[in-house]
Amino acid sequence: MTNETGLCLPPLDQVDTPIFKVPSEACDCHAHVFGPRKKFPFILDRSYTPPEASLNAYQNMHRKLGITRAVIVQPSIYGNDNKATLDAIKQYGDENARGVAVVTNNVSEAELEMLHTGGIRGVRFNLLFKGGVQLKDLEYIASKIAIFNWHIQLLIDVSELQSIADRLRRLPNEIVFDHMGHMPTNRGVNDVGFQTLINLIEEGHAWAKLSGSYRTSTASPSYKEAEVFAHALISASNKRMVWGSDWPHPGLYDNMPNDGALLNALNDYCPSDTLKKAILVDNPAQLYGFNAPLEGREHGK
């Protein structure tokens, strides 16, 4: 499949059927919603331009997979304007959706209160695409959001993690790493950066999303090269793992993964039904506060 228009590819309409029984209240912990563009314009300085990917299309994919909860992550193409993400959370349903925002160092306490009430539970630092917040603001932003018990979400290549690991250890927040650390699988699990991620998880500082295997592995459509990384992460702490589809898979121009196949990969990562329930239900409920009211602060650790 190729794209001649300059836009990223849209997600596939076809969704493979799950090969295991998806537990009730399963959560997709990483997705984006794009558009409508007239209502939510993209920033000019961006790394990619996606076609519109509506909340209705996202929920339709979830219905096919038996997923009923979602975490909407602010994409880089909106910069620090979180309106589209907040709108998607509200439309999905406040009880079953949470979000991760992007804020700058001049964010006010009133705005943080508004974001919290709107379902935001973390702030994303995206170091791989234009439109993200830079690490120079990490400690300051982390201190401002700590009173809400929000986490820091990092989109980085963890082969470079060792240089900032001690900074992360000193933060008053949980740290969540996108896409199993977003490191090319050909570097191997013994890479010092990936092992630093393992250490942070074992120490109780970090979480990882079992997502984005197609971004780090070239072995489509199964992306089996990522399996050893998933096993290593789960072994570090199965209580600090969540799963995400990364729908609608922005920034792709040649091949598009099947969301059903990405979910089915969990059966290879952890055949146990108990463990799959932890990753799909229990761990997301803890990290994103699905069983807590939206309003009101949750004081940090």
Catalytic residue, candidates 178, 191, 246, 259: 246
pLDDT (mean) for 63-67: 98
Do 195 and 166 form a contact (C-beta atoms < 8 A)? no
263: enclosing H helix or E strand: helix 259-269
Q: Has 166 been annotated as catalytic?
A: no
The residue with tokens 């209240």 is 25
Q: What's the pLDDT band for 132 if we cut at 50, 70, 90?
A: low
| Alpha-carbon gap, residue 253 to 93, rounded angstroms | 31
**pLDDT, tens digit (0-9, with 9 covering 90-100), for 96-114:** 999 999 999 999 999 999 9
| Alpha-carbon gap, residue 69 to 231, rounded angstroms | 24
The residue with tokens 């006010």 is 108
Amino acid in position 216: T
* Percent of the chain at pLDDT exceeding 70: 93
Of 73-82, 130-139, 240-249, least confident by mean pLDDT is 130-139
What is the separation, in whole angstroms, between the first and last Cα of the chain? 47
Helix (H, G, I), strand (E, B) or coil at 177: strand
According to DSSP, residue 222 is labeled: T
Of 21-25, 71-75, 157-161, least confident by mean pLDDT is 157-161
Contacts of 96 (CB under 8 A, 6+ apart): 68, 69, 70, 290
Strand partners, 176: 153, 207
Helices (H), 162-249: 165-169, 192-202, 213-216, 227-236
Domain segments of the chain as ranges: 27-288
Candidates 3.40.47.10, 3.20.20.140, 3.30.450.20, 3.40.50.300; correct CATH number of 27-288? 3.20.20.140
| Alpha-carbon gap, residue 51 to 248, rounded angstroms | 9
Do 53 and 34 form a contact (C-beta atoms < 8 A)? yes
Amino acid in position 238: N
Which segments within the chain are labelled E, that is strand?
27-31, 69-73, 97-101, 120-126, 151-155, 175-177, 206-210, 241-243
Starting at the earlier edge strand, list the strands of the sheet with 97-101. 27-31, 69-73, 97-101, 120-126, 151-155, 175-177, 206-210, 241-243
157: enclosing H helix or E strand: none
Residue 300 has pLDDT above 60, yes or no: no
Question: Mean of the per-residue pLDDT values for the chain?
Answer: 91
| Alpha-carbon gap, residue 212 to 242, rounded angstroms | 12
